A and B are shown apart, each in its own frame.
Chain A
Amino acid sequence: MIKVENLSKAFGSKLAVNDISFNLERGEVLGFLGPNGAGKSTTMRMVTGFIPPTAGKITVGGFDMLENPIPAKRQFGYLPENAPGYGDMTVQGFLNFSAELRGIQGDARRKAVNHAVELCFLESVMYQSIDTLSKGYKHRTCLAQSLIHDPAILILDEPTDGLDPNQKHEVRNLIKRMGENKAIVFSTHILEEVEATCSRVIIIDRGRIVANGTPQELKARSVYAGAVHLRAKGVPAAMLTEQLAQVRGAAKAEVIREYDGLVEARVYADKAAANPNLTRDVAEMAAQKHWEIDELHTEEGRLDEVFRSITLPDTVTEAA
């Protein structure tokens, strides 16, 4: 539904977005991740037709954004960064206005506004002016605006920014639910949000796509992916790690911490000599040596670690 090809944007001599391409289909929730200033918002602004790209092609719902902007703009709802709104308008007035701009009139308009208000839990502030709303309500008012015409495509720039944990949870659920029959792309800094809602993740750094895959695929790139975490009682730490490092398929073993006679350790999986039974082998060794184990599990990998290793220049060179 969204097709972006070789998109670039230069501000003066600074290249904010550098040759980005991606696709988004119905039923997908695409998470846009990246450090501040990576080019997430700039990309979204180009996809929504707010700023023209320096180079590249954008197709939204089958319409070329540059050649046919108005039909293209009909296809999506957009929540800009910081959720702007006209302060002097009431929530109802603002939603009516956005419905009218989208050509929804009369009875259909009333229904559309009520539906959006319901989805975003705005009933209690319907007649309040936007200036008087708390940040969370302001945000949801702008979100409601993007849903008013029940678009097939949603483009949300930091939809959970400034919300409290309950509201975050609600918005995430909303995105997930709507993602079943819409195409959604949203940007965020919050990694757990990506894991909870996205079917695909794109990580952008300094204007380039540095990773593109499912959250599981990305997590598998972590050094922690497939590692075995265990907690043993009454075993000397040095001996423990020395023994564990000899398990087949183990890259190395390290002590995480020691306390009250307990040792927590991690056995990293050697990705080259992948051993699918690493955890079982560790358990077997523990049984042979009669270690008292009170915790043992396989780690899935951590998105934050992957994110850091991809987007921090130092760790990238270190890994290379």
Chain B
Amino acid sequence: MNAWGGIKAIMKRELGGYFTSPIAYVFLVIFLLLTGFFTFTVGNFFERGEASLVSFFTWHPWLYLFLVPAVGMRLWSEERRLGTMELLLTMPIATWQAIVGKFLASWLFLALALLLTFPVVLTVNYLGDPDNGIIVAGYVGSLLLAGSYLAISCMTSALTRNQVISFILSVMICLFLILAGYTPVTDLLVRWANPVLVDVIAAFSVMTHFEGFQRGVLDARDTVFFLSVIGFALFTTGVIIRNQRAG
């Protein structure tokens, strides 16, 4: 069996798991309600008078902050709690296949949630004449952002069998990744810290890299940033799991 076969089996199970429990439906409904609320009410979509989805994408880092860890928190902690980890890791698959399979399944699920926001694209196209290139770039950025948060949740869920701890830890890490480059925070930091240092810290922030996508700029550096966060977090997940097995 090739490597993909094992990943696919795990993805299938994981995705099935979302939809056989109420998690998927609760998540989708809440996600769509909240994106709608932030875009139209808080983001003043109509009052802005511009044909863009800025008010839609601006809120994604904050929305994902709580919603993505909620999706990712169970990935490994549940396996440990149920004891199925022993079953999974004595199957003829490599640990990385299990990690990637689980991650991809959840990412796919988040992509589905994002896809279901299509009415907002239709709306803006109906009302005006937006640059759809920027919108596509925004979606790509949003998906990468969700993937980064998810990989971090994956990592924290490997740390503990307690889902609540896993959730809080990943929210904290993701919050740090937001605040490090959040303009109000960087403005504050610049007053007493070296601007170069502030820039270095901000370079680690998802905000800095997400902005480009919102402007419609598909910068390779931003993409590489998100992909390397994902890669690093998943690699760390593997290290954590290996260390736990070693006892």
A residues with a Cβ closer than 8 A to B are 9, 11, 45, 48-52, 69-71, 73-74, 78, 80-82, 84-89, 93, 97-98, 100-103, 129, 142, 145
Contact = CB atoms under 8 A, between A and B. Distances in A.
27 contacts: A9-B247, A11-B247, A45-B86, A50-B245, A51-B245, A70-B92, A73-B90, A74-B92, A80-B83, A80-B90, A81-B83, A82-B83, A84-B83, A84-B84, A84-B87, A85-B82, A86-B82, A87-B82, A88-B17, A89-B16, A97-B9, A100-B5, A100-B9, A100-B12, A101-B9, A103-B1, A103-B92
Contacts of A78: 87, 90
B110 to A, nearest CB: 19
Interface of B: prevailing SS = helix
Contacts of A51: 245-247
A97 B13 contact: yes
B17 A89 contact: yes
A48 B90 contact: yes
A183 B208 CA distance: 59
Interface string B78-94: 00001110111111111
A50 B241 CA distance: 11
A280 B75 CA distance: 69
A152 to B, nearest CB: 14
Contacts of A70: 92-94
Contacts of A86: 13, 17, 82, 84
B69 to A, nearest CB: 20
B194 interface: no
Interface string B5-36: 11011101100110011000000000000000
A247 B6 CA distance: 70
Contacts of B6: 101
B92 A102 contact: yes
Given A86-B17, A87-B82, 8 more contacts: A50-B245, A52-B245, A69-B94, A84-B86, A101-B88, A103-B5, A129-B20, A145-B87
Interface string B214-247: 0000000000000000000000000000000111
Interface in B94-144: 94
B40 to A, nearest CB: 35
A100 B4 CA distance: 11
B150 to A, nearest CB: 20
Most chain B C-beta atoms within 10 Å of own C-beta, residue among A80, A87, A100, A101:
A101
> Top 6 closest A-B pairs, CB basis?
A103-B1, A84-B83, A100-B9, A73-B92, A74-B92, A48-B90
Contacts of B20: 88-89, 129
A78 B13 CA distance: 20
Most chain A C-beta atoms within 10 Å of own C-beta, residue among B5, B16, B87:
B87
A70 B97 CA distance: 12
Nearest to A157: B86
A101 B92 contact: yes
A49 B5 contact: no
Contacts of A84: 82-84, 86-87
A98 B92 CA distance: 10
Nearest to A78: B90
